[in-house]
Amino acid sequence: MGLWRAPHLPLFLLASVWAALVPLAWLWPGLTCDPVAWHRQELVLGFAGAAMGGYLLSALPHWLKLAGGEGEGISPRGTMALVLAWVIGRATGGACQPDGLALAGQALYPLGLALGLVVPVLRARVWRRLPIALAPLLLLLIGLRLRLASDSLTAVLGMALLVALVGGRIVPAFLLARTGDRSGRGALPLCARLADGALAVALLLHLLNASEAWVGGAALAAALGQALRMKDWALAPALRGHGDLALLVLAWLWLPLGLALLGLGLTGAVALPLATLAHALTMGLMGGMVLAVMARAWMGRAPGRLVAGRATIAAFAILQLATLSRLALSEAGPAVVLPWLCAWGILAGQCARASLRPVPHPVFSARRKP
């Protein structure tokens, strides 16, 4: 079925192309009547939504196999339907469209994705995967908040929480798999649960209209927790030159750093605008994690490991440059947009080439050594 052989092929391609196109609103102001609102909305629902769907739907068969099921995931027709829902959301969700039409169109893809994940998980009774299967609903809530309240802080904290919940499980799992030790998999350590809880508290405090000082304090506590949880990770492979793992860890570091910067800004300890500080979490964390996870689907395969190619490493480095430029310049000019566009242009090319090659199994991990 070509592009429809695996759900990550079309969804990752859409994510990378959309990531490159959305920031053009800053260079082409006439693209939409409200560039700020459209930019925030489409990087969450369009870019992050497509990337999330590609990963979760590709991981779904593995979840089912672990539960003793047949390991079947979404069908090619199901993937086509989700892609159509994503396209409808982008076509009807513009900043200039009426709220009713925009919200109806935007809800199609997250709801369809959640349904495609939750139903197989419930049938297989894989209860511990249910929170992750419901993650698209959090994405939808963030989109609703952006649309109806223009609340960018909810979007930033919500996306950080999504990365913490999903990435906080897959990054240590990939690290542990490289060591060959499977005994450490299971319930999250207490430190990780407390760190995610502190981040959830920061989001809840903001939604309850607590003072910025309280929200900032919770964000600082979450930053400390997200940094400390790494002490339980098997970091040795990433530190020994395993490029695929190094990219994941480097992207993850933006979570504690970004939360710390945001917390300092909310408490008044840093004078930079919150819109600038938030890009450590949006560009650095979300962009870096999406790139590092997506690229695993087409990295070279060696016995027991993945090999990050030069193009992937270059794209990741360029993305870091774009993030640092945004934090330093406090504006989204060509010095920020062009490196970002270049990074995702490289990823889009790799996605397109991957669609012409056999799909590796497993998609995101190397086969075990014989």
Q: Sorting pLDDT into bands at 50, 70 and 90, what band is 369? A: low
**What's the whole-number mean pLDDT along residues 330-346?**
91
Q: What confidence score (pLDDT) does residue 297 get?
A: 94
Q: What confidence score (pLDDT) does residue 348 get?
A: 96
Find, among 205, 211, 224, the residue nearest to 266 by Cα: 211
Q: What confidence score (pLDDT) does residue 90 get?
A: 92
**What's the whole-number mean pLDDT along residues 115-143?**
90
pLDDT at 24 over 80: yes
**What's the whole-number mean pLDDT along residues 298-303?**
88
pLDDT digits (tens, 9 = 90+) for 155-201: 999 999 999 999 999 999 999 888 766 554 567 889 999 999 999 99
Which range among 26-35, 197-206, 259-268 shows the weakest confidence by mean pLDDT? 26-35
**What is the C-alpha separation between 92 and 78, in angstroms, rounded?**
21
Q: What confidence score (pLDDT) does residue 332 get?
A: 78
Which range among 38-52, 56-70, 289-303, 323-337 shows the weakest confidence by mean pLDDT? 56-70
Find, among 163, 165, 159, the residue nearest to 193 by Cα: 165
**What's the whole-number mean pLDDT along residues 62-79?**
77
Over its C-alpha atoms, the chain yields an Rg (Å, rounded) of 19
What integer best gives the mean pLDDT of the chain? 90
Tokens 């930019």 identify what position? 39
State whether residue 86 is helix, strand or coil.
helix
Which DSSP string corresponds to 253-277?
Answer: THHHHHHHHHHHHHTTSS-S-HHHH
Domain boundaries along the sequence of the chain: 1-150, 151-370
Q: Sorting pLDDT into bands at 50, 70 and 90, what band is 27? A: confident
Q: Evaluate if pTM is beyond 0.85.
A: yes
For the stretch 80-105, what's the b/e string if a residue is b when 16 or more beta carbons lie within 10 angstroms of its beta carbon? bbbbebbeebbebbbbebeeeebbeb
Identify any residues that bridge with 300 across adjacent strands, giving them in sequence order: 307
What crossing angle do the helices spanning 212-228 and 152-179 adopt, rounded to 10°? 10
Query: Between 1 and 24, whose confidence is greater?
Result: 24
Judge whether 306 and 248 are in contact, CB under 8 Å.
Answer: no
pLDDT at 230 over 80: yes
pLDDT digits (tens, 9 = 90+) for 81-127: 999 999 999 998 776 777 788 889 999 999 999 999 999 999 888 88
Q: What confidence score (pLDDT) does residue 181 get?
A: 62
pLDDT at 68 over 70: no
Which DSSP string corresponds to 55-76?
Answer: HHHHHHHHHHHHTTS------H
Q: What confidence score (pLDDT) does residue 71 get?
A: 56
Query: Between 180 and 8, whose confidence is greater?
Result: 8
Q: What confidence score (pLDDT) does residue 67 get?
A: 60
Burial tier of 241 (Cβ tally within 10 Å: 0-12, 13-18, 19+): exposed
Q: What confidence score (pLDDT) does residue 128 get?
A: 84
